[in-house]
Amino acid sequence: MTGRLNVVADIGDGFVVFDHVQKSYDGETLVVKDLNLSIAKGEFLTMLGPSGSGKTTCLMMLAGFETATAGDIRLDGRPINAVPPHKRGIGMVFQNYALFPHMTVAENLAFPLEVRGIGKSEREAKITRALDMVQMGAFGARRPAQLSGGQQQRIALARALVFDPKLVLMDEPLGALDKQLREHMQFEIKRLHDDLGITVVYVTHDQGEALTMSDRIAVFNDGRIQQLAPPAALYETPENLFVASFIGENNRLEGTIEEVGPRSLVRLQTGELIDATPVNVHRKGQRTIVSIRPERVEFKPDMMPANAHTLDARVLEVVYMGDILRTRLAVAGSDDFIMKCRNTIGQTRLEPGQTVRIGWHPADARALDPL
């Protein structure tokens, strides 16, 4: 696995900067390893990764709830390692909402304003504006227990925005919501970000959520950023096998490098020879995984480009997913090769046991990471 230690050329110019930041809880094991990251003012950056990858620890260090073992964290050019959380001017939204149950909605929003010494008339104006932002203007007198989960999350978001913070941090804020409401709130949060021009650092393990909302995504694994890129670049051009596997569904065919160049020839386990873009493979004889996205695979000859790679495949399973037909195939030694086809009028329906010829454009194959 190739970890990326320096993901930007100059980390000094960002609104939020992690400068060679490390974190250890026991003095021996680093859960965050030499993090260098610059976040622009007004950017929506998502820290994405599996549990234990270091993303939440980074967010907690930025918030001030954890202390960096080494390195500096800067906000708007000012070092904040020694600044307590309540003096950083940062809004926070958590998965569990963290609303005070004994307070009304308006009182919950008033609390961060009161601790900042803001007068009553200004408090009331800010509370009204924040509730209107999240379309909850009529709910100020209710208590959290009288609200649905989605309404509570809107209030938690309003409370994070009510004091006009420089930066808003969100830690798995939609994790407790059902799928439909979660998708709706993704667009609501992104709309607020665009309308207000605020800087957002968002933590999630949900790659679909990250792709939908982010300007850039930092993919974490084992305490390091594996790749930092806009959503489309991250999905289309993953820089290693972890990123390719973690972001979206991904087919993997094992093979050996036969020739190295701008396009490398790879001999698959079953003897077929295909070409692929080499990523982190550099010499003949290296074993590699060829990555191909399921939606780039076709089984109709007239849909394939003239220079398509084609292989025989046996249909193992067809799953109806509404808008998509997801077909699992046996291909070149793999029994878990996935093809996704849009469910359109006239679409050919494959059946288990059927043999078909599949293909993809060579540019859609990437030879990732020597094994």
Tell me the pLDDT tens digit for each residue of 154-210: 999 999 999 999 899 999 988 878 888 888 889 989 999 999 999 999 999 999 999
Which class would CATH give 11-242? alpha beta
- Decide if 368 contacts 349 (C-beta within 8 A): no
What backbone phi and psi angles, to 5 degrees, belong to 91?
-90, 145
3 state SS of 25: coil
Q: How far is 278 from 281, CA to CA, in rounded Å?
A: 6
Alpha carbon of 358 to those of 270, 294, 295, 304, 337: distances in Å?
Answer: 16, 11, 12, 9, 11
Instruction: Write out the two tokens for 51.
Output: 């549990």
pLDDT-derived band at 1 (thresholds 50, 70, 90) equals: very low
Instruction: Write out the two tokens for 197.
Output: 């021009």
Q: Which residues contact 82 (CB under 8 A, 6 or more apart)?
A: none
Please determine, for residue 5, whether its predicted confidence score (pLDDT) is greater than 70.
no
Q: How much is the average pLDDT of 92-115?
A: 90
Which class would CATH give 249-370? mainly beta
How large a percentage of the chain has pLDDT more than 70?
A: 96
Q: Which residue has the higher pLDDT, 310 or 21?
A: 21
Residue span(s) of the chain under CATH 2.40.50.140 come to 249-370
Looking at residue 113, the DSSP 8-state letter turns out to be H
Q: Which residues contact 148 (CB under 8 A, 6 or more apart)?
A: none
Q: How far is 320 from 324, CA to CA, in rounded Å?
A: 7
Residue span(s) of the chain under CATH 3.40.50.300 come to 11-242
Instruction: Quote the mean pLDDT of the chain.
Output: 91
Tell me the residue ranges of DSSP E strands in the chain. Answer: 16-24, 30-39, 44-48, 70-75, 78-79, 90-94, 167-171, 199-204, 216-221, 224-229, 251-259, 264-268, 273-279, 287-292, 309-320, 324-331, 334-342, 355-360, 365-370
Instruction: Write out the two tokens for 208.
Output: 């679909």
**What does the pLDDT read at residue 29?**
93
Among 114, 161, 108, residue whose Cα is nearest residue 133: 161
- Decide if 220 contacts 7 (C-beta within 8 A): no
